[in-house]
Amino acid sequence: MQKPQSSGNQEKLEKGALLLMEKLLKKGYRASIDEDTFREYSVKVAVEDKGNVCVYYSPSKDAYKITLKEIKDENTAHEISSLWESKKKKSIKDSVYADKGYEADVDGSYFSEVTSWASIIRKDGEIIAELSGLVDTTGIKNSHQIAGEIKAVIETIKYCRNNKIKKLRLYYDYNGLKYWAKGIWRAKIFITQYYQNFMKDVKIDIDWVKIESHTGVYWNELADKLAKKEIQKAISN
């Protein structure tokens, strides 16, 4: 057997690998560090019956990332990625997040006459649901991205109802979502009228939190990517 290459960052790599393994264990995965794979900036974590996750460490940024090329099952790779991202250290911009109770970031996207939506719902900072899809824009074609934003809120509310969630901190980047919901803005077209009527019957205690879009705010960026992924899939089919 080839002797593993020594690593000046081995202590840091072990720390990152153990962090990943702790997350995996909580979800029922059995994992271990492959001692033969230590390199200067990386090490592999073997996930039983699933493949390897490569953990990278950047000394200049004092930060970790993982790659999942050796995890063949797409669903497993997605779950591991979500587990890793759910506890990733956030930037200063993300101090807006409470990481307590139920929180959700919603977003919509529009490209090439396709509208999509996404919502990332968390409990105490941990992802419990990633919701996304396309919007049937029949009769509302001019609503573009707004229809996606509205759909994201509606589906988030439905999820909360189905799971008996009574209080939600909701992060959004388009003012109309709050203003139509609270009757501050008059709904003039069908999609906004439908949304306003829907929100009138909502019994959930919603704490509306406005954030700026495309400014690197962590969960908002992930919701944006999730919505865009739906459009990419639709266009490629």
User: How confident is the model at residue 85, as a pLDDT?
Assistant: 81
Structure tokens at 77: 């790779």
What is the DSSP secondary structure assignment for residue 59, as one 8-state letter? T
Do the Cβ atoms of 43 and 6 come closer than 8 Å? Answer: no
Do the Cβ atoms of 104 and 168 come closer than 8 Å? Answer: yes
In a shared domain, residues 108 and 80: no
User: How confident is the model at residue 4, as a pLDDT?
Assistant: 44
221 assigned to some structural domain: yes
Q: How far apart are CA 223 and CA 221, in angstroms?
A: 5
100: left (phi over 0), alpha (psi -120 to 50) or beta: beta
Give the DSSP letter string of 163-174. TT--EEEEEES-
Q: Is 236 exposed, middle or buried (0-12, 13-18, 19+ CB in 10 A)?
A: exposed
The residue segments making up the domain with residue 44 are 10-89
In a shared domain, residues 15 and 121: no
Measured from the Cβ of residue 130, the count of other Cβ atoms closer than 10 Å reads 14
Do the Cβ atoms of 178 and 195 come closer than 8 Å? Answer: no
User: How confident is the model at residue 2, as a pLDDT?
Assistant: 41
In a shared domain, residues 50 and 164: no
User: How confident is the model at residue 92, as a pLDDT?
Assistant: 38
Identify the domain boundary among 89, 112, 133.
89
Identify the domain boundary among 89, 116, 141.
89
User: How confident is the model at residue 1, as a pLDDT?
Assistant: 39
Burial letters 17-38, b for 16+ CB under 10 A, else e: beebbebbeeeebebebeeebb
Structure tokens at 92: 């200063």
Distances (CA, A) of 234 to 111, 142, 145, 157: 10, 19, 15, 25
β-pairing, 102-111 vs 63-67, is unpaired
Q: Among 223, 139, 217, 213, which residue's Cα sits nearest to residue 175?
A: 213
Q: How far apart are CA 24 and CA 21, in angstroms?
A: 5
Single pTM value for the model: 0.64
Q: What is the pLDDT along the chain (237 residues), one digit of tens a residue?
A: 343 444 578 888 998 899 899 889 888 999 999 999 999 999 999 999 999 999 999 888 788 899 999 998 999 999 999 888 875 544 434 568 888 999 999 999 999 889 999 999 999 988 999 999 999 988 776 788 899 999 999 999 999 999 999 999 999 999 999 999 999 999 999 999 999 999 999 999 999 999 887 777 888 888 999 999 999 999 887
In a shared domain, residues 34 and 112: no
Identify the domain boundary among 62, 89, 116.
89
In a shared domain, residues 66 and 109: no
In a shared domain, residues 172 and 79: no
Q: With DSSP H G I counted as helix, E B as strand and the rest as coil, what are the percentages for the chain, rounded to 5?
A: 40, 25, 35
In a shared domain, residues 199 and 120: yes
CA torsion sign for 148, 150, 153, 155 is: negative
Q: How far apart are CA 65 and CA 107, in angstroms?
A: 25
